[in-house]
Amino acid sequence: MKKFLLFSACVLGLAACGGGSDAESDPNVLMHTDFESVDGWLPGEQNGGSLNREKAHSGKTSIKVDGTHEFSLSFSKPFGQLHESRPKKLKISAWTFVPDAQSLASIIVSISDPSAPDAKPVLWEALDLGKESKPFGEWKEVSKVITVPANVGPNNKLGIYMWRNSGTKAVYADDFKVTLAD
């Protein structure tokens, strides 16, 4: 009985604390950013940038495109920092807030070669939020699975950003996540 009580105390204590972020607990999650930890560190985003505190799906910060921001803040990581080997397929997901059918944007997923910045990207795919974000005016999770080309190496960079298509009202995105989808 004594041992049971002590064991229960430990189990209950651990359970009450919960786990860390999903990027820490799920080995298939290669990256997850809610943009909180870059807030305050980017001088160009301090006043009126894409990084904003107007709306957020989690925390206080999200990124946006609108009439004055054609492109959002971009997330970019070398594949070598994401995974030890080349993944075959990746699922890119995000939470987006599209105000109405006239304010449309896309999430762009690209793979580029940093040694050839002017060359055509190895991969460039768009996730049209006009098709994916209905109903409008609320946060919705969107996702896209990409096939990573065979010639992608550890120095190639995965880039994710939002691109305004039409309208001037702000379209928001938060909680970018990259997951193995092999």
Partner 1 sequence: MTLFLRILYCLPVLLFAGCSPRGGRSDVQERLLMHSSFEDLEACSKTHQDNLTTEKAHTGSVSMFVDAQHPFSATYRKELGALCDHRPRRLTLSAWVWVPTPDDDAVIVMALANPSDPDHPIFSKHIFMTPLGSFGKWKRIRQSFELPADIHANTQLILYLWHSNAQSTVYSDDWELTELW
The residue ranges that bind partner 1 (CB under 8 A) are 1-2, 5-6, 9-10, 12-14, 16-18, 31, 33, 35-44, 46, 53, 73-77, 81
Work out how close the CB of 64 gets to partner 1 at its nearest, in angstroms, rounded to a whole number. Answer: 14
Q: What is the distance between the terminal CA atoms of the chain, rounded to a whole angstrom? A: 47
| 117's tokens | 């910045």
Shortest Cβ 131–partner 1 spacing (Å): 27
**Residue (1 or 119) nearer to partner 1, CB:** 1
DSSP 3-state assignment of 4?
A: helix
CB closer to partner 1 out of 74 and 102: 74
Q: State the residue for tokens 């298509």.
A: 165
51-52/62-65 β-pairing: antiparallel
Q: Least Å distance between CB 130 and partner 1?
A: 25
Name the β-bridge partners of 62: 52
Which is closer to partner 1, CB of 77 or CB of 144? 77
Closer residue to partner 1, CB minimum distance, 66 or 175: 175
Bridge partners of residue 158, in order along the sequence: 77, 111
